[in-house]
Every structure is written in structure tokens, then in C-alpha cells.
Amino acid sequence: MQELKRPVLTGDLMRDVTAYLGETFKDTARHSIEVAACARELAARFKEDPAAAEAAGLLHDISVVIPNKEKLMRAEEWGIDICKEEELLPMISHQKLSRYMAAEFFGVKDENVLSAIECHTTLKNHANKMDQVVFVADKIKWDQAGEPPYLDSLQESLEESLEAASLTYINYLMVHDIIVVHPWLKAAQEWLEYSR
């Protein structure tokens, strides 16, 4: 397993993330900048901290630098609990790895930022508003080509609430090409349905 390089921190997080990801991961950098901008807007709209949402958006996929075949080894090295679904599909452990890297490599201390990074793919039970802001922003500014097939219904649900938008995406995902159902995703779905 290769040694991970440490970022050079300048105080400009967007510049630091972009430089850290480099040319190899420029598509992830572009996606992260788009998610950060969307998260900032959603945070302002839903009375959350825009700067914190932007930071979480910029850092949410920082662990892309770790190859999928090494993700579980890194998790073990860093003392991160991994569930059986993440063992089956190591890529989905990236949200936990990104949280660790945001704290340890980029010096993030804000628990709201770290929590939002940690559950940006699956959400989680009793997710707070910042968790949902980053989760929804990541789905609006997805990392695939074209427009997300669920975008219209997600944005319509967003007119109601962040919770409605989060549930709309989860319900879509549960019936479209899901490989494994992460326990956090299922718990988030049940919680969101119960709290409606």
C-alpha cells in the first residue's frame, strides 16, 4: 500500500483540494466544486452555515485518491468501522475515509462538516440539516454525464423540505440499480418515512 501524500494547506480550501486531487482526479475536483456551490446555496436556503456546507462539499470525495482495492486496508489502518456491505462494495466506504482525511489531512474540526462528509452517499438515521444539505447537493450535482433521471422529482420535493428531497432520492435509489443496501441508507429511509 502506497504512502498517501499530505496536502499543502494554504488556507484556501478550494485551491488546496484542487491541488491535492491534481490532474489525475480533475473530474472529482470539478464535481466537488459543483457540490460545494450547490451545498452553499442549499445551506443558505435552509438556514444552515453556507461556509461549512461548502467545506463539506469540497472534501466529500477527497478519498478518491485511495484505490478501491485499498479502501478496506486504509479503513483498518485508520481504525474505521466497516460493515459487511462496505466489504462487499468497498467503494461505498469512501464517505468514511473522506471524513477521516478531512479531519487528519485538512485539519477540519467542525463536527457538522465531518458528519456531512461521512454520510454524503448513504445519509444516516437522524441526519441533521447539514448532513441532508450535502447529501442532496451531491445528488443534484451528480458525478455522471448528463442530468440525473430523478432530478425533477428531487427538486420538486425540495420545495417541501430537505427531508422530502432526501427521501425522494433514497426511494428512487432503492428501486434503481442498487448493488447493496447500506444499513445507514435503510435506517435513513425508515427515519425519514417515520418523521413525515
CA within 13 Å, CB half, 82: 21
pLDDT at 178: 86
Q: Measuring CA to CA, which residue among 78, 178, 68 is closest to residue 121?
A: 178
DSSP code of residue 93? G
pLDDT at 146: 84
DSSP code of residue 11? S
pLDDT digits (tens, 9 = 90+) for 112-130: 999 999 999 999 999 999 9
Go through 141-170 and write b for each residue having 16 or more CB atoms within 10 A of its CB, e for each that does not. Answer: bbeeeeebebeeebeebbeeebbebbbbbb
Q: Residue 127: count other Cβ atoms within 10 Å of its Cβ.
A: 24
pLDDT digits (tens, 9 = 90+) for 41-98: 999 999 999 999 999 999 999 999 999 999 999 999 999 999 999 999 999 999 999 9
Report d(CA 38, CA 52) in Å as an integer: 12
pLDDT digits (tens, 9 = 90+) for 132-168: 999 999 999 988 888 999 999 999 999 999 999 999 9
Q: Measuring CA to CA, which residue among 119, 146, 141 is closest to residue 130?
A: 119
